[in-house]
């Protein structure tokens, strides 16, 4: 029956708010001293970290980056670039990947013995002479600064001991093969269900130079979970044995390793900062994350943005000196490098690995290709909940309006030069519509990087005449 009142009701919005895909989020596969972690992450399962302290708590830390590769990345990304989050995949399993260590005598000073941090605390046997000591009764164990400390307890039986005998097992990462890392690449599929995030950078410092790993990374970034897109940051090795130690040898190694995919960003050489050496992929990932954060989208190239290094070097620490012409020669072969110009080191290069063979700007320009990935990832996240709803003309109009409004905003912000979404009759035959298949065609144009500026200087004599026109001659 009618009521004597004023009524207000709500109706669902006809335009859907976009769910913007985050960018510059790295998924990093490698090895970590998880046996030394206070709250160890599960082996071969992705774990997300938002700070260096959290990463150390979950993965442990060692300055031996050649053995424990994830430590290099956590140091660079958190401490040098101040970027977060990072999703790590530790492939080292201390319960199975270990080597027996024979009994060794170690000195005690200040009631403490300091052991190699490779010792696995859970397997350690400590003796005072021939008497086996009891953990937490006679001694306690803790890791600090890459070492394992045996601290004798004042209430125990060996508090005054001047030497101890220790035996057990040490971490052995040599069993982490290229196939193990490649399997870790596949685990990126879990990130969406675990964290609600789809990483858009995949990195494997120390391992990506392997052809098997590089191929696995290139394949996976093309379609994560069958939906999302990313980029693989890959290093050309710079060691004496199988790598390239000079710029003119890099292209041959890149080609031999099959690094020619549009979803690969190939990097060379390495970078040094003080006594630390970083893979270029680690540093470029930090620069890309910082650039994305600065501009709120991946539309700007990381090229000519700061690297946190004080020199370029090879794997053995040998200095690499690159002129502008040599760095440009690397760029012309689809290789990103570093360049010291105007007193600081910067990322140098705008091309993915497919350049120069692939002439399509959406494939070979890093920022253009990443913008295509970012738009695609955002579209998927926004319209996933529209799947299986009744497919009516109003349904199609809502999607078109939502996409066009969002993309118009990107154009207004300068992220795109132009964009539009349409439904083309040729792409939507009746048979497809009857099967619930509808296709929307998006035209987008991200800006290309301004990688060449030409200025023409010409002497103009008229300025001489003008300058002296007020003087009587």
- How far is the C-alpha of 308 from the C-alpha of 284, rounded, in Å? 10
Is 8 inside any structural domain?
no
- 32 and 111 both lie in a single domain: no
- 207 and 315 both lie in a single domain: yes
Task: Please enumerate in sequence order all residues whose Cβ is within 8 A of that of 59, keeping only pairs 6 or more positions apart, or say none.
Answer: 32, 33, 34, 37, 40, 41, 47, 49, 70, 71, 74, 88, 90
Is 6 inside any structural domain?
no
- How far is the C-alpha of 255 from the C-alpha of 357, rounded, in Å? 12
pTM, two decimals, is 0.93
Residue 55 structure tokens: 């990463």
Residue 298 structure tokens: 């991946």
Residue 184 structure tokens: 């870790």
- 352 and 401 both lie in a single domain: no
CB 446 within 8 A of CB 367: yes
Give the number of domains in the chain. Answer: 3
* Structural domain span for residue 110: 98-171
Q: What's the CATH code of the domain at 149?
A: 2.60.40
Residue 443 structure tokens: 């035209």
- 315 and 415 both lie in a single domain: no
Is 15 inside any structural domain?
no
Cis before residue 85, ω within 30 degrees of 0?
yes
Query: Which of 364, 399, 414 is the last residue before a domain boundary?
Result: 364
- 458 and 359 both lie in a single domain: no
Closest CA to 202 of 46, 80, 327: 46
Helix (H, G, I), strand (E, B), or coil: what is residue 353?
coil
Helix (H, G, I), strand (E, B), or coil: what is residue 271?
strand
What's the pLDDT at 16?
A: 65
Residue 455 structure tokens: 């200025």
- 87 and 155 both lie in a single domain: no
- 261 and 339 both lie in a single domain: yes
Is 3 inside any structural domain?
no
Burial (CB count within 10 angstroms: exposed 0-12, middle 13-18, buried 19+), residue 419? buried
Is 35 inside any structural domain?
yes
Residue-wise burial string across 451-472, b where 16 or more C-beta atoms lie within 10 A, e elsewhere: eeeeeeeeeeeeeeeeeeeeee
- Which residues in the chain come in under a pLDDT of 70? 1-21, 472-473
Q: What is the pLDDT of residues 300-342, one digit of tens each?
A: 999 999 999 999 999 999 999 999 999 999 999 999 999 998 8
CB 17 within 8 A of CB 11: no
DSSP 107-168: E-BTTEEEEETTB-GGG-EEEETTEEP-BTTTEEEEEETTEEEEEE-TTSTTTT-SEEEEEE
What's the pLDDT at 252?
A: 95
DSSP 280-305: HHHHHHHHHHHHHHHHTSTTS-STTS
User: For residue 214, what is the enclosing H or E element?
Assistant: helix 211-221
- 405 and 435 both lie in a single domain: yes
Is 227 inside any structural domain?
yes
- 84 and 126 both lie in a single domain: no
DSSP 14: S
Is 373 inside any structural domain?
no
User: For residue 169, what is the enclosing H or E element?
Assistant: strand 163-171
- How far is the C-alpha of 330 from the C-alpha of 347, rounded, in Å? 12
Is 194 inside any structural domain?
yes
- 208 and 141 both lie in a single domain: no
- 261 and 305 both lie in a single domain: yes
Burial (CB count within 10 angstroms: exposed 0-12, middle 13-18, buried 19+), residue 325? exposed
User: For residue 370, what is the enclosing H or E element?
Assistant: helix 366-383
Cis before residue 269, ω within 30 degrees of 0?
yes
Helix (H, G, I), strand (E, B), or coil: what is residue 213?
helix
Query: Which of 118, 145, 171 is the last residue before a domain boundary?
Result: 171
- Give just the sign of the alpha carbon dihedral 301, 337, 236, 285: negative
Query: Which of 364, 382, 411 is the last residue before a domain boundary?
Result: 364
Q: What's the CATH code of the domain at 303?
A: 3.40.50
- 416 and 448 both lie in a single domain: yes
């Amino acid at each position: 029956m009618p009521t004597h009142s004023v009524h207000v009701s709500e109706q669902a919005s006809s335009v859907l708010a976009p769910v913007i895909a985050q960018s510059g989020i790295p998924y990093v596969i490698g090895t970590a001293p998880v046996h030394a972690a206070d709250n160890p992450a599960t082996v071969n399962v992705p774990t997300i970290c938002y700070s260096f302290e959290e990463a150390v708590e979950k993965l442990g830390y060692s300055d031996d980056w050649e053995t424990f590769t994830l430590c290099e990345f956590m140091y660079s990304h958190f401490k040098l670039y101040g970027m977060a989050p990072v999703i790590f995949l530790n492939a080292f399993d201390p319960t199975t990947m270990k080597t027996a260590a024979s009994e060794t005598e170690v000195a005690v000073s200040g009631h403490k013995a300091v052991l190699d941090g490779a010792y696995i605390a859970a397997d350690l046997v400590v003796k005072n002479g021939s008497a086996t000591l009891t953990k937490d009764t006679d001694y306690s164990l803790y890791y600090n600064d890459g070492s394992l400390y045996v601290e004798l307890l004042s209430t125990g039986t060996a508090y005054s001991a001047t030497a101890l005998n220790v035996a057990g097992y040490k971490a052995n990462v040599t069993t982490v093969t290229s196939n193990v890392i490649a399997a870790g690449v596949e685990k990126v599929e879990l990130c969406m269900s675990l964290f609600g995030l789809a990483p858009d950078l995949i990195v494997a410092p120390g391992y990506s130079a392997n052809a098997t790993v590089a191929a696995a990374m290139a394949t996976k970034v093309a379609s994560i979970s069958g939906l999302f897109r990313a980029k693989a940051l890959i290093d050309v090795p710079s060691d004496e044995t199988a790598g390239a130690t000079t710029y003119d040898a890099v292209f041959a190694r890149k080609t031999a390793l099959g690094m020619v995919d549009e979803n690969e960003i190939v990097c060379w050489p390495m970078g040094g900062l003080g006594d630390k050496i970083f893979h270029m992929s680690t540093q470029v990932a930090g620069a890309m994350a910082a650039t994305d954060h600065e501009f709120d989208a991946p539309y700007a190239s990381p090229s000519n943005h700061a690297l946190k290094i004080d020199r370029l070097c090879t794997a053995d620490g040998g200095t690499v000196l690159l002129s502008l012409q040599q760095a440009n020669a690397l760029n012309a072969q689809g290789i990103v490098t570093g360049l010291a110009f105007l007193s600081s080191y910067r990322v140098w290069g705008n091309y993915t690995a497919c350049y120069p063979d692939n002439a399509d700007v959406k494939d070979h320009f890093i920022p253009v290709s990443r913008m295509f990935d970012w738009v695609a990832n955002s579209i998927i996240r926004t319209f996933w909940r529209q799947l299986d709803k009744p497919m009516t003309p109003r349904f199609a109009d809502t999607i078109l309006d939502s996409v066009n409004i969002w993309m118009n905003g990107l154009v207004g912000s300068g992220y795109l030069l132009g964009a539009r979404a349409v439904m083309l009759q040729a792409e939507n035959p009746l048979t497809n519509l009857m099967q619930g298949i509808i296709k929307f065609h998006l035209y987008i144009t991200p800006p290309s990087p301004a990688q060449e500026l030409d200025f023409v200087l010409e002497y103009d004599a008229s300025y001489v005449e003008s300058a002296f026109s007020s003087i009587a001659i």
